[in-house]
Amino acid sequence: MTPPDGPTGQTEETLTDSETIRVLGARRSIRDFADRDVTDEQVTAILEAARRAPTSGNLQAYSVIVVRDPETKAKLAKIAGGQKHIETCPVYLAFVADLTRIETAFQRNGRDLDDNNLEMGLMASIDASLVGMAAYVAADSLGIQGVMIGAMRNDPEAVAEVLGLAQRTYVVFGLCLGYPAGQPKQKPRMPAEGVIHYERYDAAKAVGIVSPYNAQLKAHYDDINKPTDDDSWSADVDKKYAERPRDHLRAALKGRGFDFR
Ligand SMILES: Cc1cc2nc3c(=O)[nH]c(=O)nc-3n(C[C@H](O)[C@H](O)[C@H](O)COP(=O)(O)O)c2cc1C
């Protein structure tokens, strides 16, 4: 039967508003967790939804590892530079770029993936990332929140060892999940006018928002009593990334069977 407000069930209000938009709009990283478990059924529901994420050429070049074991989480936390939330979250998900199944397709004709390239590695990494973000949003819609952990790339070999990864796989990032112990203030985002462009890229607008954002981010950090410089974002980025970050990564991933060339 056609609903009273039209065939799609949309009213004026729901044309621009939805549960998903509200969930995304309220999102923030959570690093402190309540003493409340996330059930296996919940993890399954989250991952079943996430597995519907789009995937390059239907390659589905990813795997997910669900980690609950405290010892495993402690090892991963250490690799991540001692990030305690990896240990304190009830469930940790590792999103893996995975070329193994593609290689089996190639092997049918006597080929292997020794000659894989940047595009192959990117497709797998993007697939893993899209599933990861979808899982994040699906979890959030159940009130389960957390934080992504890129520090898995600090030492891909050590992570592979801990998780028993096969050759031609690596963990792109992890995701701590649990019920939040509280809601930290949302970190402001750069103004939309420099990030969203219409029809053509506007270089002046893209960089023009940095200075006002520095002031906005400094006000946020002042508000939560976190020390920062006057040019907050610029100073952070300059400090953190002036030295090439994770410069051994290319070699480490080559060792895992990703050429990225
Ligand atoms: C791919 C990725 C990796 C991240 N890695 C870490 C991490 O290792 N540790 C951490 O505490 N936060 C990590 N974060 C969270 C970011 O620091 C956070 O999203 C950002 O500062 C914005 O804050 P918000 O998410 O609260 O808005 C990561 C986020 C992404 C997308």
Q: Is 111 in the pocket of ligand 1 (CB under 6 A)?
A: no
Domains of the chain with bracketed CATH: 26-184 (3.40.109.10), 186-242 (no CATH)
Any ligand 1 atom below 6 A from CB of 113: no
Ligand 1 centre and the CA of 29: distance in Å?
7
**Dist CA 91 CA 131 (whole Å):** 16
Q: Are 129 and 174 in contact (CB under 8 A)?
A: no
CB of 84 shorter than 6 A to ligand 1: no
Chain-centre distance for alpha carbon 217: 22
The reported pLDDT for the residue numbered 13 is: 72
Which protein residue has the closest C-alpha to ligand 1 atom 29?
Answer: 148
The H or E element spanning position 93 is strand 91-98
Which residues is 175 bridged to in the sheet? 93, 148
Cα(53) to ligand 1 centroid in Å equals 21
Reply yes or no on whether the pLDDT at 34 is more than 80. yes
For ligand 1, the distance from its centroid to the CA atom of residue 92, given in whole angstroms, is: 15
What is the atom index within ligand 1 of the atom nearest the CA of 85? 11
As beta bridge partners, residue 36 has none
Tell me 57's DSSP state. G
d(CA 158, CA 39) in angstroms, rounded, equals 28
For position 90, what pLDDT does the model report? 98
Cα gap 18→30, rounded to integer Å: 23
For residue 186, the CA-to-ligand 1 centroid distance in Å is 12
Is the CB of residue 171 less than 8 Å from the CB of residue 156? yes
Alpha-carbon separation of residue 210 from 70, 142, 194, 206 (angstroms): 41, 35, 9, 8
What pLDDT does residue 179 have?
98
Residue nearest to atom 25 of ligand 1 (CA): 29
Rounded distance from Cα 48 to ligand 1 centre (Å): 24
**What is the secondary structure of 149-189 as a DSSP string?**
EGGGGG-HHHHHHHHTPPTTEEEEEEEEEE-BSS-PPPPPP
- Position 9 scores a pLDDT of 66
In the block, which residue shows the tokens 């949302």? 186
Decide whether any atom of ligand 1 lies within 6 Å of the 77 Cβ: no
Q: How far is the CA of 151 from the centre of ligand 1 (A)?
A: 10
- For residues 232 and 260, give the distance between their C-alpha atoms in angstroms, rounded to a whole number: 33
Does 150 contact ligand 1 (Cβ within 6 A)? yes
**What is the tens place of the pLDDT at every residue in 87-124?**
999 999 999 999 999 999 999 999 999 989 999 999 99
Give Dmax over CA atoms of the chain in angstroms.
62
CA 149 to CA 30: how far, in whole Å? 12
**pLDDT at position 84, please?**
98
Mean pLDDT over all residues of the chain?
A: 95
User: Does 6 have pLDDT greater than 60?
Assistant: no
Amino acid at position 134, single letter: A
78 has a pLDDT exceeding 60: yes
Q: Locate the ligand 1 atom nearest the alpha carbon of residue 80 and give its number.
A: 8
Report how far ligand 1's centroid is from the alpha carbon of 147 (Å). Answer: 6
Say what the pLDDT of residue 105 is. 97
Residue 2 has pLDDT above 50, yes or no: no
Q: Which residues contact 101 (CB under 8 A, 6 or more apart)?
A: 60, 61
Secondary-structure breakdown of the chain: helix, strand, coil percentages, each rounded to the nearest 5: 50, 10, 40
Burial string for 36-46 (b: 16+ CB within 10 Å, else e) reads eebeeebbeeb
Instruction: Give the pair of three-digit tokens for residue 76.
Output: 């991963």
